[in-house]
Structure 1
């Protein structure tokens, strides 16, 4: 049975005095993450108004700015939110809140909101259009079955992410404990690794008869996949600008970050470095690059441009300590398994996310 969203769902508009809410749980369009990846607390900025809109546990929060980013989170507690984040709550017992959550996660819903949005530079979802969105409403038993299947996958992905965060912290702590040592040989980042810049991929579009790849740009690196990328490049490029799951990528312009790529095979766009080494272990070059990230971010923030960046000379001026081969081998036996476990979890989550998207497309 096809039904309209507005007949079964409320867009909650509750407010509370700012002093009475826990601002550490504030959800904005900035800290709710793209591509259905939940929320990162705390938010960078908190409003200074006397009152603020709020959400309740189990409300479904969706950023109403640039809906094509697919920012959605099912609240795990009560808290305050931005006016540009919509809280959805079922008002009819025939619609389960969990089922509403998976409906609103679907590409079908986000495409509808995007297509009916108002504005061009920073489009906003049209609330009048949103309440007219139509979806299939099965019986309660089928709603439970569908939502349970999706939520089990999400729970496993969240657990893997938590384990990975802990492993990443452990890796960094051990690295800093043993590798930041004045007694070791001094070097710099360009001496331990190759920082290969990507290409302006608009110049390498695929021919009609050749295989193509999605383009990895800063936006895709932030969200962790290229699922929404409309840009394609030729697959017949040098391997140095082709990235695969687990590769170390360093965004040196705009949003500076160092991370292992979590998406599929892709072509590396400009403003991104693929970091490799034929001499040192992957964990070694990953941690040393990440070690200098805060300094790189400060350098980029000081640029008199709209998009801060660093230069290759900044890599050359970044101090690195090189231990003896014997000591490095000892640390590799300890740190390589941790790094490898992280990559395995990244790959597992990639497969789980694909399965989740397949099921969402199947049901909606």
Structure 2
């Protein structure tokens, strides 16, 4: 058994005092929310700083460094790949010793063994925190280097395929978005009719069956989606949420079954999560979804909502929590293109959406396989002796 400290050249956290921020700074200020799916990600609202501030406060990161979130949002993880960044206190960095496989440690920090340890040792009732002492004291079985490499090689192959599928989907998304921009914005016909979202489809709200009635909920029933489901599931298409409702729950609420192809739009907490129903679904009251008219199509409604999100947000009301009411959603201005242009756009998007949905389903299967294999590999329950790494 070894501790995380024993296999690290450095294990610490980022700045506890913020540097000076500059909007055009070349260095990203990284905290817990910037660590996602193994990478440092920018989400558009981050603070930035300069090289001079980095020289004062930056910590030495290398390609053998793993970043792990320890404050507020616990458990986000990323490999450092040379990004220009300054770490905040929400991120812990672990620089792995040269005689240990860094990829193996990266996967060890995603194992159920480590996650259970973190859950047990975290402090704070509202804002969770993991101390550096807790990180350093984590102990685990470390196999010989050749076995470490074989185990991480197997898991890396799965992650590489998942990442490739994500890149293909992103490319397809950019193509569809570009065509929407070209057809409906850059070359919009001044003779197209102006109306409201109601001219594109039917706006439908949602409902929550009584939580006091356990018989209203089930693991395998009628799909019931909440905004939280879309915050966890970043996919474009969705079939089910964390829990389903029963026929009895549907009957005793004002939830409505909506068809495949419905565009889900979260209208509060927060406003603007958008997804496409891959089957029949219901939602809670946090949605104002649009069932597209047949002559309009799902693709146009989906990109219309994405491109008009800021306008819809601006129409929201509420002093504490902003919300888009049903009446407001129905009054959102919309342009209704001619049938020929819509047909051209749909003809392009239908096969694109089909491939995107297929790749998302494939990734869900790959992620499930990886997550099921990870603890078995770490526990030595799968023979990897013949693996070439």
Taking structure 1 as the reference length, the TM-score comes to 0.81
Partner of 2:268: 253
Partner of 2:344: 330
Distance 1:86 1:170, change over 3 A: same
Partner of 1:219: 228
Partner of 1:91: 97
Q: Is the 8 A contact 1:11 1:88 kept in 2?
A: yes
* 1:187 and 2:195 aligned: yes
**In the alignment, which of 60, 81, 87 is matched to residue 87 of structure 2?**
81
Q: In angstroms, what is the RMSD of aligned CA positions?
A: 3.7
- Which of the pair has more CA radius of gyration? 2
- After superposition, give the CA deviation of every residue in 1:303-328 in whole Å (9 maximum; x if it has no partner): 421x3222223322322222333332
SS of 1:30's equivalent?
Answer: helix
Between the aligned partners of 1:177 and 1:240, the Cα distance in structure 2 is 35
Q: Is the 8 A contact 2:267 2:287 kept in 1?
A: yes
**In the alignment, which of 293, 296, 312 is matched to residue 326 of structure 2?**
312
Compute the displacement of 1:100 (Å): 0.4
Partner of 2:46: 45
- After superposition, give the CA deviation of every residue in 1:63-89 in whole Å (9 maximum; x if it has no partner): 112455x31111121432112100112
Compute the displacement of 1:122 (Å): 0.3
Partner of 2:33: 30
Distance 1:183 1:339, change over 3 A: farther
* 1:145 and 2:150 aligned: yes
Map 1:78-227 onto structure 2 (within 5 A). 78=83, 79-91=85-97, 93=99, 95-180=100-185, 181=188, 182-200=190-208, 203=211, 206-207=214-215, 211-212=219-220, 216-224=225-233
Between the aligned partners of 1:345 and 1:230, the Cα distance in structure 2 is 19
Q: Is the 8 A contact 1:199 1:241 kept in 2?
A: no
Between the aligned partners of 2:43 and 2:347, the Cα distance in structure 1 is 36
- After superposition, give the CA deviation of every residue in 1:248-292 in whole Å (9 maximum; x if it has no partner): 432221333343369999863331344432523221111111121
- After superposition, give the CA deviation of every residue in 1:11-39 in whole Å (9 maximum; x if it has no partner): 14588x979xx744432123223xx4633
Matched residues, number: 353
**In the alignment, which of 53, 58, 68 is matched to residue 62 of structure 1?**
68
Taking structure 2 as the reference length, the TM-score comes to 0.77
Q: Is the 8 A contact 1:60 1:72 kept in 2?
A: yes
Partner of 2:6: 7
Compute the displacement of 1:103 (Å): 0.5
Partner of 1:268: 283
SS of 1:290's equivalent?
Answer: helix
Structure 2's unaligned 5+ residue stretches are 379-389
Partner of 2:245: 234
- After superposition, give the CA deviation of every residue in 1:221-273 in whole Å (9 maximum; x if it has no partner): 123179xx9964434355945898x8643222133334336999986333134
SS of 1:257's equivalent?
Answer: strand
Structure 1's unaligned 5+ residue stretches are none
